Every structure is written in structure tokens, then in C-alpha cells.
Chains A and B, each alone.
Chain A
Amino acid sequence: MIFTDPFFLFVFLPLAALTFHLVGRRHGTNGALATLLVISILFYAPWGAWMTAILMLSVCVNFLCGGALVALDDERASMRKLLLAAGEIFNFGALIWFKYHLFAGLVADAEARDVAAWVVPAGISFYTFHQAAFLADAYAREPNVVLLLGKMKNVRDILTGFIRYSAFVIFFPQLVIGPITYVKEFLPQVASARFGRIFYVNVSIGFTLIAIGMFKKLVLADNLGIYSDSVFERASLRVALTPVESWVGIASYYLQLYFDFSGYSDMAIGLARIFGLRYPINFFSPFKAVGIIDYYRRWHMTLTRVISRFLFTPLSLAGTRLAARKRYGVMAVKILGLWLPLMINFEVIGLWHGAIWSFVVFGLIHGIWYVAETEVRSSKRWKKWRKTVPGVRRAIYGRIILLLFMPLCFALFRADSLETAVYLGQQLFAGAGAMTVSAELQQALKPLVAGFVVVYLLPNSIELLRNYRPGILTYQNPSYGPHWPVRWRPNWVWTAFFGAIFVVCIYYMYRQPPFLYQGF
């Protein structure tokens, strides 16, 4: 099922919420969690029995590993290390096996890649990251993980622990495309006496976030996708494009991906909130960022923090220690402690999206860009310049640079091959034809303009609802753009507004293009 499916919204969700509330009231936290687990399995089941079996197998293996990591005492340190390694190898081995077919995609033809893509279990990336983080926390005996698993002294305890853990991993709003959550964010809310019942204010917040997310996906992203799909298809067939068509196609995809993914995240956070859970936010106006460093604190934030915690930080520490041990110079310390870890970081992010060369180059460019910006911002000249130029102007310069280059990176991301991306890049500046504006292009400009207005002039969903703390702030980011004096409240005016938006979305609901990140 997907969130924009009318069956999900009008049948599954109301029934799920009602059952959760009734069982939660009668059977408390464990009953509510067991209900969430069953609901989530039912949500996932339409993807296929074997995908569900793989998911459950993964959950069982991680639960056993996590339980053993917590149960084994510190004297058996090597055993614990071995167990952690085995668990992580299982997680990432399964991810690599299913997602990349051991990187066969780099050499296989397009048809083989299509087949490989088809058999990737839905959400495997996200539940792998969830569980990898869980195992690391279990190894570190993070108090919430210890509490989540419980004492595990008898069958009842084990069953209770399993239900809690499974509900944490499989909880349907975040199962397929995130946000990637830590146990320490989940457990305290589940442990609250209020958990297990549906509250009006949570329903109001959830409904509003769902309406915002649906609008982003169904009205903006899907309409932007019509033109971007056409341009990228033509590019893949090497059909001549005018520069205007190429720029509009690339800009459309730039916004499409953002609205598609952030729309999903808004809906996920909204759905979780209906069940009384606040989930970490994934997007905070990334296109208003003033540079790539700022951008990655605002785009897919839960992935950024996972990668940063489990990849960048250990690599950076190891590099710095190595440089210190060998008494290398300042430049070597920089390379080993910062540049190399950053490059690896972005290469892993690139390759996580798929085993094709365009993702490799995407990661490379982002790595170089990030390193360059880090260096520029730490240079003396920058610091001197910063004192002479007002912050507003600096922010505008930063945004212009981001707006010029990030859509090109997204084009690389969207293109079916590196050759297609290069071809499209050529069309941007040397494309055929004059600056003609076809009817199709005119049609494409409407959602594009609307999209840019939403991105640059309106508050994001978290800013709008901030009086009600709609999600957990993954990073503290300043708000940019016009400061609107409005704040959402669960009153008649806002309800009518978002109710109308919901109804507009229903009009587009018969189209069911999948969320773009479902493929990852």
C-alpha cells in the first residue's frame, strides 16, 4: 500500500486508528504495540509474501542479535564484538545482495538492471538502516535499547520485547521510506501513559501534515513529473532539446524530487502523530539553504545523521588518529581526517541510490563540493569577507550558487545513465532550435512557478505547525525566507483551509505514480 492510495486513506487508516485506540484502551501499551505490529504487517503485505517473509526474517535476526548483545556481560567483549559484526554483516549483506546484486549493475545491461530493481524488497534500505543503528545502540547498551528489549528472562518477556522491537522497526508510516528513527526517540513516547489512545490534537496535527504531504506529492510533484519525465526520456533517446526545454525539465525534476520525498515524509510524520508518536523530521526547507553544508542539514536529515554517525565520524576519527600517530603534516591531517571521510561519505550515499555510474559521479561531485565549501568557509579570506558583507547578501549569494548547481546534480541523479546526463548537459547550452515555447512547455511552467513559490515564499510544514511540535528536530536549523506571522492552530479557519487542500488532492488520487524514493 502507499499513502496516497484511496483504500489506504479511507478504509485502512480509519480502521487501523480505531482498532489501535480500542485495543490500547483495553490492553495498554503492549496491546497497542501489538496492534501497530499487525497493522504494519497488513500494510506491507500487498508487496508480496516473500518480501514480508524477508522483512520478518530480518527483524527476527536483529532482535536475537540485539538481545544477545544486551544480555552478554562486558567480560565477553570479543563475543559481543563478533555478534555485532555478524549482525551488521547480515544487515548490509542483505542490503547489498538485494539492492545491487553484488554490483552487477555496473557491468550488466539495462534489462538486467530492470530485473534487479524489480526484485528489491520494498523499504529494505530503510529498515536496514533502522536496525543497523539499533544494533550499534544495543552494543553500546544505550539505556533505551536495554529498556525496549526488557529483561528477557522468560518466554513472556521475550515475546513482549519482540513485539516492542518489531513495532519499532515495522511501524508502517516509516517502514518504506523513513524517516530513520532511533530507539531513544521511540521508546520514551511508547512508555508514556498517554500512548495507546488517539487524541484529538494529534489527529488535527496528523491530518494537517497528511494534507500538506498529499498536496506536495499529488498536486505538485506528480504534475511536475509529467514534463520532467518527458524531457529525461527524450534525453535518453538523444532527441534534440532546446535550452529552454532542458532547463525547465531539469528544474521540474529538481522540485519534483523534493516535493515527492518531503511530501512522503510529511505524511509519514502526520500518520505517526495520529498514533501518538512524534517522529524525526526529514526536511527543513533544503532549497533555502545557503550552501551544501547547510543543505545537508536540511535534506533527508535522518539519513545524514545516520551516515554521519556510523561512517563519517569513525572514518574521521581513524584518519585523524592515524595522522597524529604518524606525525603527518597539517595537509595530511586534513586529507585523512576530513576530506577522505567526506568523499567516502558521499560516495556511499551516491551508491546507496543504485549501482550506476551517474550515482558514482553524483557522490563524487557532492563530496568535492562539500570539501571545497568546508575549506572556503574555514579560510581567512572568507572570514575577512564575511565581516564586510551583510548576512542577507551572503545568504543570497549562497542560494544562487546552490540553485545553479544543485539542479544539475539532480539531473545527474535522474538520468538513466552518465551518457544521458552529459547529453542533457550539452542541450542546456547548445541545444537545437530557438527559444520556442511549445504548448507542453507552457503547461509545465504552471507547476514549476507554483513549486518555486511554495519553496521560497511559504513557511515549511514544521515552521507552520511549530507551536505544536510536529516532529523531532534532527538538527537545529534557522528559518529562512519571509517570516509569516501565521501559526497553525486546530481551529475552524485552518481546518477549512487544509480540508479544502485535502479535497483538491482527492481529485488527483486516481493517478498513482509511486513515490520516487520507493525505488531506493
Chain B
Amino acid sequence: MQARLPNFVRYFFRRPTLVAIVSIWLGYATVAGFVIGVDPYDVYPWGQRVSIPKNFAPFEMIRVVRVAARDPQTELVLIGTSPTTIFRQADLAKAYPGYKSPWNVSYHGSAGTDRARTIDQFVQYSSAKRYLITLDYFYAKPSSEVRDSYPDFQYDETPLNDLRMVNSVAIKAAFRALRSGSPFPDAVRTENQENGFREGEKRRYQTSEKMRRLAGWIDQYRPTIATPSSLRCSQMPLLQELLTQTRALTKKGARVDILIPPYSLGLYYEWAGDPLLHRGGGDTLLMDQIAMRRCAVLGLAHTPGAHVYSMDLDFALASDLGNFRDPAHIESQTGLRRFVSMANYPELELTPENIDSYATQIRKAVQNYKLKNSALPFNSRRD
């Protein structure tokens, strides 16, 4: 005799779509509940207590900005983008020995708006005593962009979009957090990933072909490279926000050092020739950057505890592309040491008194630049 199925089974058997919907819903709810419950990025008051290794800046740093901001032990924070991801905790500790548990919160590909949101997390939650913030090129942009895949939903006030956190990366991170306490792959793997990325970039850029191309751009753009900028300070909304955030951090008693990343002198020609790199900066790129730096210096002139530093006037370093993996990323050990400890050198500080002289020297150096690359058997045709 055939066994009679329970009514609810027969009900669902005749309604496959309901079974599918309920299954998908339950499956998703389970996964979402798991990720949000474990909370691998420490967004909520509950969940797994995660420990983020501070000895390197992982690729997924964007996801743990709040963890870094809430860390009560951190006294020194470096906030930057690709030129500073190379620094380890030991580098910061060595450069600034008086501060406990320093943390490098740099991530690749910062585009502007995400930087402001990152700093906001520190303004809201951090009790660090000192901040090093890089004054990157994007602060001169009149409009702002967000880094691709920056997890806004983790840092905004509404919980309605938090389900967007549930993806394959977060699921893996939740399992790792349960297993090892850290949402990231082990340090060796992450470090290899970072090193591999840098090596790849260097290999792609440091070629005779790229140097020949740059030499051509130098010849082509030299007459227009110092075209005056029409940008006013009020037309740089990101910079204005940075100044406001800097003041807020100093009001909390912290010292804020704004570091201008050392760019090669060739960068301005490289970006003028390859508009994809500077997203349409055009002929005024150099002077826009100088204008932006001037606005930063003047804007923070009366903010106690805030300082702006630049090592761009070290032309021996900046003129030789052999010191860089590409024109925007310094790689030489001497240069990196000086970069990370820039705020220890009063002579590198930009002030309202020396900003004009600084601007003139940079402009002249770029205008008169002759391509040099000690790492390649190639030099400018004019050398």
C-alpha cells in the first residue's frame, strides 16, 4: 500500500516555485546570518573579535578601516594610497619611535571620496595621537570619484544596505575569522601578493620602450607643461574636506602631518601624455598640483598641530626614474626611508613663507627636466 504523504509535503510538491523561493530565501538568510553574525570586518558590536595583522597593509584594507579606527592601542596612523602601501609597522615604528602600535591604513587605488570616508572613520572613532596623511594628486580634482568596490555600505549610518556585504569574499573572510581570528589570508601570502603586484608594475614600466615614449612626451609637452592653473581653493571640494577633517583631528589633540608623496619629475610629462592616467588633467596638471599644495599649506597655516611636508625638492632623487617603479611610486630604499620619516625633518615642512619659493623651484625643475633613468641603459636624447 502506498504511504500517504503529509499534507504540507503534498502542498509544496504541487508548488515548485514556492519551494524554490523558500529554499533560496533560507539559503541566503543562512549565509547572510552567518556573515553578519561572525562579522569578519568588525562592523557591529557583536561577532568574532578579529585581529588584523598590523605588519602590512593588506589588499582588503578598505574593509577594515573601522577596525583600525577603533583600535584603542594605535597611537600612530598612516593613511595613504599606493605609494605608501609598501610601509610596514616596523618602518613606522622606526621612523616615529615614540608612538605605540603604529598602523598603516593605506590601500591601492584610492580615488578621492573613499579617502574622505576613510578619514571620517578616524575622526569619529580613533584616539590616535598622530596621523600621517598623504596629499595625493586627486585632491586637486574639481569632482570626486569613489574607488571601485569601496564598501560604503559598511561605513554609512543605514543598516538597510548592509546585506551588500554578503559576497564570496566576505564568506571566505568569515570562515577565516572563525578559524584564525583574522579575516585575511596569512601574512606571507598577502605580502607575496603585494610584492608580486609591485614587481609586475615595475616590470611593465621600467622598459626602454616606455622611456622612449616618455622622452617624446617631454619634448612634446615641455612648452606647455607650466600652463597656469585656474583652479581656486574653493574648487577643490576634496581638499576642503581634508582640511576640515584635519582640523577636527587636531581638535581631538592629535598631530596631523600631511605628506606630499615624492613624485618623479617625469610624472608630469607622463600624465600629460597619457591622459588615462590623470583623467583629463591636461596642460595645467603641474600647476594644478602646485595650486592644490599651496591651498593645503595656506588652509592649515593657523591650525596648531597640522603640518605639510614635501621632499620633492630633492631633485637628485626626483629626477632619476631609476629610483621609482613608475613615475608616481618611489622604490629606492633611501627615498622610502626619507618618505616615511619626512615629518621628522623641519626643513621639509612647507609654510606660507616658503611655499612660493617651493612652487617656483618645482616648476622650473619640471620645465627643465631631462630624462634620466639609472636603472636602464637608456637616457634622454639630449643627455
Contacts and interface: CB of A to CB of B under 8 A. Distances in A.
Contacts of A318: none
Contact of A10 (B17, B18, B28, B165): B28
Contact of B166 (A6, A208, A239): A6
Contacts of B37: none
A10 B16 contact: no
Contacts of A208: 17
B17 A203 contact: yes
A203 B18 contact: yes
B12 to A, nearest CB: 11
Interface in A481-520: 490-492, 495-496, 498-499, 502-503, 506-507, 509-512
Interface in A242-276: none
B229 to A, nearest CB: 16
A490 B17 contact: yes
Contacts of B21: 203, 207
A93 to B, nearest CB: 30
Contacts of A511: 149
Given A234-B276, A495-B19, A111 B142 contact: yes
B16 A491 contact: yes
A11 B165 CA distance: 15
B309 to A, nearest CB: 31
Contacts of B274: 239
Q: What class of interface size applies to chain B in its complex with A?
A: 20 to 34
Contacts, number: 75
A502 B24 contact: yes
B25 A495 contact: no
B275 A7 contact: no
Given A111-B143, A200-B17, A491-B16, A239 B276 contact: yes
A188 interface: no
Interface in B27-76: 27-29, 32
B276 A237 contact: yes
Interface residues of A, number: 35
State the majority secondary structure of interface residues on B.
helix
Contacts of A509: 164, 167
A208 B20 CA distance: 11
B23 interface: yes
B188 interface: no
B17 A6 contact: no
Contacts of A236: 280
Contacts of B163: 5-7, 10-11
Contacts of A10: 25, 28-29, 32, 163
Interface in B267-286: 274-276, 279-280
A237 B275 contact: yes
Contacts of B168: 507
Contact of A7 (B15, B25, B160, B276): B160
Given A5-B163, A208-B17, A503-B27, 6 more contacts: A5-B161, A203-B21, A204-B17, A492-B16, A507-B167, A511-B149
4 nearest interchain CB pairs?
A510-B167, A495-B16, A6-B163, A499-B20
Interface of A: 5-7, 10-11, 14, 46, 111, 114, 200, 203-204, 207-208, 233-234, 236-239, 490-492, 495-496, 498-499, 502-503, 506-507, 509-512
Interface of B: 15-21, 23-25, 27-29, 32, 142-143, 149, 160-168, 274-276, 279-280
